[in-house]
Structure 1
Amino acid sequence: MNFHAPIDQDRASAVTLSPTIPAGRPHSKTGRIGVLLSNLGTPDATDTRSIRRYLAEFLSDARVIELPKWKWYPILYGIVLNTRPQKTGANYKTIWNTEKDESPMRTICNAQTAALAQAFADEPRVAVELGMRYGNPSIESALEKLVAQGCDRIVFFPLYPQYSATTTATANDQLFRALMKLRDQPAVRTVPVYYDEPAYIEALASSIEDHLSTLDFEPDVVLASYHGIPKRYAENGDPYPQHCHETTRLLRARLGWDDKRLLTTFQSLFGKEEWIRPYTDETVRRLAGEGVRRIAIVNPGFSADCIETLEEIDGEVREIFIHAGGEKFSHIPCLNDREDGMAMIEDIVRREIKGWL
């Protein structure tokens, strides 16, 4: 029995010689890879209008405020956005990078992006851009830049070591919302959280040791202060608290400290409901009351110094500790664009694009 159908030569030639190529991006793939770094974001300026615009975007995110709109929006637009921008703007002014007229976070994130781009300078197929979850430059605009450069594969890297739906998840959400607008979508990989990566722990430990070596005092206690989330979010399954405690545990092991020398606390409370404990401000007040006179605070959950570390920790929390009887206080900078921190980010990116290059 003959299973080979006869070939219609004229029809085969027509198909071969006259392919239909849809309009849009060229049919052949470029093979370029885009790396999209992302962080929380920042207002464009310290004036009330800029702060209000930023806070409106941030606080209307259902991942951040898990309340029904009918319940939350009257509070947000009727109270919060009419009262909070003035205070927040004043706080930003105390840390603002006046030379570049931008927030420290934007300055640092731009430096991180430039450093990572330089690390891939010998690989022309890799392009690096920065996109903030809130404010500018947006995730959507960064994605557009990468696609315009011929990137048909994207590695998305939210710079949050510990996972939370309020940070990592909402950044991923925003990326995929941007992708939904594209007819010809690039392939995408999202970078896993790295709270227990050996290189991350080593970079953190080294940054702590380096900073403490510059001080004229030895801290009695060091606090690892992480951004908090409402207790209800954790009870509903957010793994963030466990990730934070594991980071601290690994840091203790690396530094050779016990749980009395390095404590885990949570900061940046918002609203009236209970957040995960212990709170950073209450802890420093308690320590001072117990006779602790010298402390330092590190922020392992922040990849770049920002208003929560520079103004809240090195400003408000420092003042709380001193007023409660403390004598010496030091804030340990975030990894920012430190060489070992950037080497860690580069290593993670190279691991994620393995097989694409």
Structure 2
Amino acid sequence: MELKHAAENYGVLLVNLGTPDAPTTPAVRSYLNQFLSDPRVVDVPKWLWQCILKGAILPFRSPRAAKAYQSIWWYEGSPLRVISEKQQKALTNALLFGTGHKLQVELAMTYGNPSIPGALQRLFDAGVNKVVVLPLFPQYSCSTTAAVFDGIADALKKQRLIPELRSIHHYHDHPAFISAMVGKVRAHWQANGKGEHLLMSFHGIPQRYADEGDPYERHCHETAIAIAGALGLSDSEWTISFQSRVGREQWLMPYTDETLKGMPAKGIKNLDVICPAFSVDCLETLEEIKEENCEYFEEAGGEQYRYIDCLNDSPCHIQMMVTLVKEQLVGW
């Protein structure tokens, strides 16, 4: 990897979690192997975890996950990658006007393709020597944001001249993010009517991570409170929950699936659901929340269940990214 020297060339590296290259068992197995082998994600001793991963988890989970991906896969490819590429293009166009700097935007995934090393090399080949890193995770977690920083550090280990880096650590309570989320919800209400309750479902992490200092749980609650406040919701009109738990260890609570199963008995039968931890619709929102958890709610007696899409490549989301990037360019 070689960095071409340039005077003042700026670039942006957008990073999301990742996706398989195809909705097939081999492709999903390859992706899960890389993802679940990262100690940021699973911090069990490596020798023990690799035995469990390769002997028990990958052989059984890969075919099931492949079927789940097949249920949400688009003609153009993985929804997460397709939408992320649209974000990259839209942000490039938005930054072309008004920054006063030469900017190139590259997309990378922490796991899978396009890779972090490949994206960095494309920036370097374009002469970029100042990079703003934007992990697309509003709330910081060691299992997401920190893994991005690890990937960048690994990619630069053999680099003689590394670029100047500015990284966006989190933006869970940034006014531009809250405004974008609130605008998304209000637009949905205007088009589809307002439910009697709003559920904000965040991706979970093991409770132990939070106990050991990961600020993710606090960030999620601060995001939810800010959104609810801006929407003018009372405490009885919204709920926070955490989804996608794995294994027997306790994860952040309350759990989304159990929350949804219990809501109709409490008189909540007309529900709107958003996922403020996800910047792009993906398997966890389209299959888990929009389909699987909807069934839990309806089977328990729920009547109206409306999933509100992620910010994706909406203009308000792109404008939020522009705001975050411009803040990093000040004084640089």
* TM-score, shorter chain, exceeding 0.5: yes
Separation in 1, partners of 2:66, 2:329: 40
Match of 1:214 in 2: 191
User: Per-residue deviation at 1:182?
Assistant: 1.2
Question: Are residues 1:109 and 2:84 paired?
Answer: yes
- In structure 2, the partner of 1:234 is 210
For residues 47-93 of structure 1, the C-alpha deviation after alignment (integer angstroms, 9 at most, x for no partner) is 11000000000000100001111221111000111000111110111
What percent identity do the matched residue pairs reach?
Answer: 43
Q: How does 1:1-357 map to 2 (within 5 A)?
A: 29-98=6-75, 100=76, 102-122=77-97, 125-215=102-192, 217-356=193-332
Q: What is the TM-score of this pair, normalised by structure 2? A: 0.96
- Distance apart, 1:194 and its partner CA: 0.4
Alpha-carbon shift at residue 289 of structure 1 (Å): 2.1
SS of the residue corresponding to residue 129 of structure 2 reads strand
Report SS of the residue matched to 2:323: helix
SS where residue 132 of structure 2 aligns?
A: strand
How far apart are residue 183 of structure 1 and its match? 1.4
Count of residue pairs the alignment pairs up: 329
SS for the counterpart of 1:92 is helix
Distance in 1 between residues matched to 2:298 and 2:203, nearest whole Å: 22
More RCO (CA 8 Å, sep 6+): 2
SS in 2 for 1:333: coil
SS in 2 for 1:66: coil
**Partner of 1:15 in structure 2?**
none
Shift of 1:187: 1.0
In 2, Cα distance between equivalents of 1:199 and 1:124: 22
Q: CA RMSD in A?
A: 1.3
State the Cα distance separating 1:184 from its structure 2 match.
1.7
Mark the runs of 5 or more structure 2 residues left unpaired by the alignment: none
Distance 2:204 2:318 in 1: 25
Paired residue secondary structure (2:155):
helix
Distance in 1 of aligned mates of 2:160 and 2:272:
51
1:85-135 CA-partner distances (Å, limit 9, x unpaired) = 11111011111011x1x1100011001100110012245621110010000
SS class of match (1:151):
coil
| 1:181 CA displacement | 2.3
User: 1 CA distance for matches of 2:194 and 2:110?
Assistant: 38
Is the contact between residue 31 and residue 112 of structure 2 (CA under 8 Å) also seen in structure 1?
yes
Task: Give 3-state SS (helix, strand or coil) of 2:149's partner.
Answer: helix
Matched residues in 2 for 1:167 and 1:133: separation? 8
Q: What is the CA-CA distance between 1:25 and the residue it aligns to?
A: 6.0
Structure 1: gaps of 5 or more residues: 1-23
Change (3 A) 1:25 1:48: closer
Structure 1 outlier segments of 4+, above 3 Å: none
Q: Give the secondary structure class of the aligned counterpart of 2:22.
A: coil
Return closer, same or farther for 1:70/1:127 CA change in 2, 3 Å cut-off: same
For 2:176 and 2:305, locate their aligned partners in 1 and report how far apart those are by CA, in whole Å. 27
Aligned to 1:16: none
**Aligned residue in 2 for 1:3:** none
For residues 112 and 310 of structure 2, what CA distance do their matches in structure 1 show? 21
Between the aligned partners of 2:282 and 2:28, the Cα distance in structure 1 is: 15
Superposed displacement of residue 29, structure 1: 3.1
Between stretches 285-294 and 270-279, larger displacement belongs to 285-294
| Cα displacement (A) at 1:290 | 2.1
Cα deviations by residue, 1:313-357 (Å, 9 ceiling, x for unpaired): 00110000011111110100111111111101101101101223x
CA distance in structure 1 between the partners assigned to 2:234 and 2:51 by the alignment? 47
2:17 aligned counterpart, secondary structure: strand
Separation in structure 1 between the aligned mates of residue 161 and residue 252 of structure 2, nearest angstrom: 42
Letter in 1 for 2:71: T
